[in-house]
Structure 1
Amino acid sequence: MGFNYCEQIYKLEKELRETYSSNENYYDIRFKVRAEKLALILDDFTHYAEREIKDALPRSPLGKALDYAKKHLSGLKNVLLDGSLEVDNNAAERAIKPFVIGGKNFIFANTAKGATSSANIYSIVESAKANNLVVERYLVYLFDNLLQIDISHSEALDNLMPWSGNIPENIKIKDKK
């Protein structure tokens, strides 16, 4: 029964994405539709979890799942506050997966300074990907330009960031439309 609620949530999110994601005001639309439809699904799931947890054995798989769900429902309901929020963290988990898998290869980061350097590089790479940039081209562009600016000047540094409007077109991934 609990899976049905998850199915309903993801079905609604898929419909919203497929129908409205190309609209300029997608997040506003998603916010309004979620307020109408997702709020009801979450309320129904909350009532289901509260009802079923009373009869479930606490250490059974169902009891553990219901307890976990109850603890995290308030966090999930945050998606009702802002249409730009996602219902899960799948994108973030996909982004860090290569680094988790390659963890044994990162043994060189055996100091706090090495770990910080690695985290900075990973952040730059994933930010470039998230902003539809060709990572290798962006890194060359970034390093070439870092040599030419005073990095203590925050505006000059901001202009090199992947999300800035100053990235040359040859570094951006072309739309496949």
Structure 2
Amino acid sequence: MTVYAYVDGPLGEMLLVGEEYADGRTVLASLSLPGQKGAAVVREGWRHAPGAFEGIAAQLRSYFTGGLTRFDLTYADAGTDFQRRVWRAVDDIPYGATVTYGEIAARVGAPGAGVRAVGTAIGRNPLLVVRPCHRVIGADGALRGYAAGLERKERLLGLEGALVR
């Protein structure tokens, strides 16, 4: 069953959506921020279940207060094969570090023209904050693209103490 909850945070009220299983597990499918491009929208038939996301909410609170540097959660493995490869590369970017779109393209075997495809895949990341696409920057060191806005990307990088080149 699809479940959802809202969690307050310094970037606004986050919407968490997931699948709840009979064994009590909840697998996170989406984390969106207010005003985000392509944000999830609560649908009829979904169940409001804040308790299903207590662990994730606690990790988010700890991250936003500087106590957590890597999320430990189960999330849905949606997306195309290419998107999943890009997202795994993004998952591997350490807290407080940044890499370029070109570096991600090279890591997934798509250098050169693949940079644009990498940017598209990153732009379709359904798990903002927990999958750290905010750590990917332009080749010139400038902040580029973030579905929830560049101001939020800058705030997340600032929270992590990441030096933007």
- TM-score of the aligned structures, taking structure 2 as reference length: 0.22
Return the structure number with greater relative CO, CA threshold 8 A, min gap 6. Answer: 2
Structure with bigger helix share is 1
Greater Rg over alpha carbons, structure: 1
Structure with bigger strand share is 2
